[in-house]
Structure 1
């Protein structure tokens, strides 16, 4: 029994402590980058919807008033009128796409 090789409890505790410290450092950074990625995706979606509003306006000679008009006319494939969890896309009378809080 004395010739068995393995890790001691202290060595295992040190390894677990190192892993815990690495997780504590990396998790907040990942969440920050996740929010940044979501914001960039939202901005890209707004630009794409804005381009479809312009295409609709060129074809129909009128500005769409809702996102649903774009979907019904085939300019947007998805039934997505939100950007992120709490931002709703709206089209102004001048044809500009903006995002606003869903609570307002």
Structure 2
């Protein structure tokens, strides 16, 4: 008596590969969009943090102006934050619309 070999047929494999390729086509464009969105959110958060640290520095030191380098030297920003701010050319923007 011959044993039947169990396995997938060519049609079944083709259907599975077709479904996988469709899923990849749907997911790949969304990954790029989500990455851009994440970068935008990160930039806004970094801007907010920079503004908050600048306001804290100005309140503590009783001054009207501050630079990013002063915030770094006074340890209001760590090295990673400072590098990201410099790389992305983010400037201090105060609530009253005045730039520093």
* TM-score of the aligned structures, taking structure 2 as reference length: 0.76
Q: Which protein has greater RCO, CA pairs closer than 8 Å, 6+ apart?
A: 2
For the residue of structure 2 that corresponds to 1:48, the secondary structure is helix
5 Å matches for 1:1-104?
3-62=4-63, 63-65=65-67, 67-79=68-80, 80-82=82-84, 87-91=88-92, 96=99
Alpha carbons of structure 1 residues 95 and 72: separation in structure 2 relative to 1, 3 Å? farther
Asked if the contact 2:92/2:99 (under 8 Å) is kept, the reply is yes
RMSD between superposed Cα atoms in Å: 2.3
Q: How many residues align?
A: 93
Asked if the contact 1:81/1:88 (under 8 Å) is kept, the reply is no
Deviations 1:8-39 (Å, cap 9, x if unpaired)?
12211221111011110111112212211210
* TM-score of the aligned structures, taking structure 1 as reference length: 0.74
Q: Which has the higher strand share?
A: 1
- Which structure 1 residue ranges, 4+ long, deviate > 4 Å from structure 2? none
For the residue of structure 2 that corresponds to 1:74, the secondary structure is coil
Greater C-alpha Rg? 2
Deviations 1:57-100 (Å, cap 9, x if unpaired)?
112223112x22101101112342435xx6211236x8647xxx
